[in-house]
Amino acid sequence: MYTSTTAMPQLFEQLGLKSSNLAIARFIKLHPLAENVTLQSATFWNPSQRQFINDSLQQDSDWAEVVDQLDALLHH
């Protein structure tokens, strides 16, 4: 289990995505979610990424807070 304080760049690294501030901002801009689409069901995740997001939220892991933040940013 990951026990350190997590932040958006570390989440993006964990998901195998580019984690610079610019890359994160670009990802958020290019992947907006409609209100009725959950973060976990977004079509742009691969199966491994989707599983990590699901597990983080269901287990209320240390990652859950930053996953929730990403969810809010993509639902802008």
CATH number at residue 23: 1.10.10.1130
Q: Is position 54 within any domain?
A: yes
Phi then psi for residue 4, to 5 deg, are -80, 160
Q: Is position 1 within any domain?
A: no
Tokens at 39, concatenated: 């973060």
Q: Is position 3 within any domain?
A: no
This prediction has a pTM of 0.88
Q: Is position 17 within any domain?
A: yes
User: Mean of the pLDDT values across residues 32-50?
Assistant: 97
Q: Is the pLDDT of residue 5 over 90?
A: no
- The residue count of the chain comes to 76
13, containing H or E segment: helix 8-14
Domain count, the chain: 1
Q: Is the pLDDT of residue 4 over 50?
A: no
User: Mean of the pLDDT values across residues 51-65?
Assistant: 95
Q: 76 pLDDT band (50/70/90 cuts)?
A: confident
